[in-house]
Structure 1
Amino acid sequence: MPVFADVDTGVDDAMALAYLFASPDAHVVGIASTAGNVPVAQVSINNLGLLELFGIDDVPVSEGAPVPLSIPLRTAEDTHGPEGLGYARLPETDRSLTPYDAAHAWVAAAREYPGELLGLVTGPLTNLALALRLEPALPRLLRRLVIMGGAFDYRGNTTPVAEWNTHVDPEAAAEVFAVWGAAWGLSTPTHLPIVLGLNLTENVAMTPSILGRLAAAAGSPSAQLSVLDDRGTPSAAANPLIRVLEDAMRFYFEFHFDQGEGYLAHLHDPLAAAVALDPDLVRYQSATVDVELTGTLTRGMTVADWRGHWGREHNAHIGVEVDPAAFFERFIERVGPFARGVGHR
């Protein structure tokens, strides 16, 4: 299945890309770099470096807008590290970006694969909003859209009520949901975007033991990461992909630990990648979604009208239930063997 991935890479975005390239049912036809976890230029460097690490050729990477639609950019180096991938270092590469931007890349991919393309967004919705302005028919050209963002009847991770991706560019998120509501209000519900918020993704927590299982599946076992380790202890894994993932995840574990959540890390974006390929991994409930733009305390909050108070058609399938064990089993059985081939492609 052709997949177009819009990412703000990002530790968990990197793991989402690894999952896509490890999946035999996915054909990644393009990557869009979005400003979010780190500035867009660094996101592009990360995406190109990951392709070099994976040994993947002929996948275009397009750079998106450097700032949100209406507000200054806010980034999250405290969460993902100064370059976005924690302690990890990617190989140098002479790969280059496309001459066209991410919004045009979205439109080109959708036109090339009409009715087939799977769209995945794991960062702010800036690029997608700009693409919809270029091509209002984009919703009808996609087979499926999966968005990681929002928090539904659940606490935020950036403000008390707002999730990071939506908070970075709430105007873009509001615009995307408005367009999808208009495009699919009277159409079949299977065309609605699948939205995975914190209420779902925070159930999917990577731990050192699960990361150890991944390393073993790659044939590259190493010392299991521990909260007792010195901060920044480098991975001893022989496999280059496992080494990058362990060094990235160590930073991510440390961040979550410092937030009082334990020595673990939520894999928001890899879950979204998995759902893009197989929606049956998650149970959904349809609703009308909008984004608060003017509230003094609630700006960036995603609001779901579950009971139809607004009198508007549904514009999203909201993920409400997932089996984390089933997800991790699939993640390991795909990424483990893929990692074995890294350095040999």
Structure 2
Amino acid sequence: MSRAIYFDHDGALDDLLSLALLTRYRGIALKGVTVTPADCLIGPAVSATRKILDVAGAHEVPVAEGVLTGPNPFPLEWRVDALRADALPVLNQRDPRTLVSELPAHEQLAQWLLAAPEPVTLLMIGPLTNLAWCLDEHPAVEAKIAELVFMGGAIDVVGNVDEPGHDGSAEWNVYWDPGAAHRVFASRIPITLFPLDATDQVPITPEFAQSFGRTYGAPLGDLAGSLLAMTFGCFETSGFAYCCWDSLTTSYLAEPELCEFEDVRCEVLTTGPSQGRTVRSDTGRVVKCARKVDVEGFYRHCLETLTATPEFSTQ
């Protein structure tokens, strides 16, 4: 029997790559997708999500558009990547059939979780705002989540937030809505955390991006190569390398052995110049934290998965 997955992402290039990966995993039943309006323009991000599901032969997977926002917006120059991705030729060969839910993402997520016949896995590679709302408004959802797999935080490394008045110690998915992360971390949901400590180990290199050109003609492989190529210039304009933050997190569902893990007790700071920081704390909650990555194994996993013969399940 396949493992039931609900997926929440926020529309950046690596998020869309993660969605493509997720549609190709054996033993994974993707039940629904919610899109958070964080590191994206929400309209193009939802549109690109629908188109990727169509290309993957997964148009029956429902998509819900997020409306809840965090207090610390992502830079606009990052958010417009969704607009560019939505225009890629590989995603525009026909009109998408995948439908958008009439409910906003947070309400739809709550409905899906409450109706789940048994506990599910929740993969969240953007901020935790939708889940925090669910926990506050529908406490019963907590028991419906067997595992939360979350890309966020920076435990023993510097963060990637460079904003006026902030000390740079936070990671963006947590910083966008520190209160939401704090709420989720206060729950009893088992959390598997992929912080910058692990995800920064897999930068997008020219060799990795160009490897998809050697298998050109596989639609999801062509999409992956295009998305990876669109990340070039990140270091020159922002000062940090674009990494496979989200796709590494997603790969855990198919190949958990790509990473080594450590139990870490930590908490989320919600105020002051360090708001959004995830810190080790004797009084914090324990998370299963990714620490060391099989880098070459991960790159190989992405290439092989996205250029292989299609296989998808919602069962």
State the TM-score, normalizing by the size of structure 1: 0.79
Pick from 133, 136, 140 the counterpart of residue 137 of structure 1. Answer: 140
How big is the shift at 1:267? Answer: 0.5
Pick from 296, 299, 312 the counterpart of residue 325 of structure 1. Answer: 296
**2:41–2:82: 8 Å Cα contact kept in structure 1?**
no
Between 253-262 and 1-10, the greater mean CA deviation after superposition: 253-262
Looking at structure 2, the residues matched to 4 and 280 of structure 1 have their Cα atoms a distance apart, in angstroms, of 22
**1:35–1:124: 8 Å Cα contact kept in structure 2?**
no
Q: Percent identity?
A: 25
Pick from 171, 195, 203 the counterpart of residue 205 of structure 1. Answer: 203
How big is the shift at 1:171? Answer: 1.2
Q: Return closer, same or farther for 1:11/1:82 CA change in 2, 3 Å cut-off.
A: closer
Q: Return closer, same or farther for 1:253/1:36 CA change in 2, 3 Å cut-off.
A: same
Q: Return closer, same or farther for 1:288/1:98 CA change in 2, 3 Å cut-off.
A: same
Unaligned runs of 5+ in 2: 163-167
Deviations 1:277-322 (A, max 9, x none): 4434322222332222221x212111122xx2x3x5x342222122
Residue 277 of structure 2 corresponds to 301
Q: Return closer, same or farther for 1:84/1:269 CA change in 2, 3 Å cut-off.
A: farther
Matched AA of 1:161: S
Q: Return closer, same or farther for 1:23/1:7 CA change in 2, 3 Å cut-off.
A: same
Looking at structure 2, the residues matched to 259 and 72 of structure 1 have their Cα atoms a distance apart, in angstroms, of 18
- Structure number, greater radius of gyration: 1
Are 2:176 and 1:168 equivalent residues in the alignment? yes
Looking at structure 1, the residues matched to 265 and 74 of structure 2 have their Cα atoms a distance apart, in angstroms, of 27
Residue 253 of structure 1 corresponds to 232
Between 99-108 and 54-63, the greater mean CA deviation after superposition: 99-108
Pick from 29, 32, 35 the counterpart of residue 30 of structure 1. Answer: 32
Q: Return closer, same or farther for 1:73/1:260 CA change in 2, 3 Å cut-off.
A: closer
Alignment of 1:92-111 (within 5 A): 92-93=95-96, 95-111=98-114
Matched AA of 2:33: I
Pick from 240, 249, 254 the counterpart of residue 272 of structure 1. Answer: 249
Looking at structure 1, the residues matched to 231 and 252 of structure 2 have their Cα atoms a distance apart, in angstroms, of 22
Residue 188 of structure 1 corresponds to none
Matched AA of 1:299: Q
Q: Return closer, same or farther for 1:66/1:39 CA change in 2, 3 Å cut-off.
A: farther
Unaligned runs of 5+ in 1: 184-190, 221-237
State the TM-score, normalizing by the size of structure 2: 0.86
How big is the shift at 1:147? Answer: 0.3
User: SS state of the match for residue 26, structure 2?
Assistant: coil
Q: Return closer, same or farther for 1:291/1:171 CA change in 2, 3 Å cut-off.
A: same
Looking at structure 2, the residues matched to 19 and 254 of structure 1 have their Cα atoms a distance apart, in angstroms, of 24
**2:54–2:96: 8 Å Cα contact kept in structure 1?**
yes
Q: Return closer, same or farther for 1:261/1:34 CA change in 2, 3 Å cut-off.
A: closer
Matched AA of 2:78: D
User: SS state of the match for residue 289, structure 2?
Assistant: strand
Q: Return closer, same or farther for 1:114/1:287 CA change in 2, 3 Å cut-off.
A: farther
Matched AA of 1:142: I
Looking at structure 2, the residues matched to 86 and 42 of structure 1 have their Cα atoms a distance apart, in angstroms, of 6
Residue 81 of structure 1 corresponds to 81
Looking at structure 1, the residues matched to 260 and 118 of structure 2 have their Cα atoms a distance apart, in angstroms, of 23
Matched AA of 1:134: E
User: SS state of the match for residue 147, structure 1?
Assistant: strand
User: SS state of the match for residue 205, structure 1?
Assistant: coil
How big is the shift at 1:268? Answer: 0.7
Q: Return closer, same or farther for 1:96/1:114 CA change in 2, 3 Å cut-off.
A: closer
How big is the shift at 1:86? Answer: 8.6
Deviations 1:136-166 (A, max 9, x none): 2323222221000111121111132111111
User: SS state of the match for residue 332, structure 1?
Assistant: helix
Residue 59 of structure 1 corresponds to 61
**2:63–2:100: 8 Å Cα contact kept in structure 1?**
yes
Residue 151 of structure 2 corresponds to 148
**2:199–2:244: 8 Å Cα contact kept in structure 1?**
yes
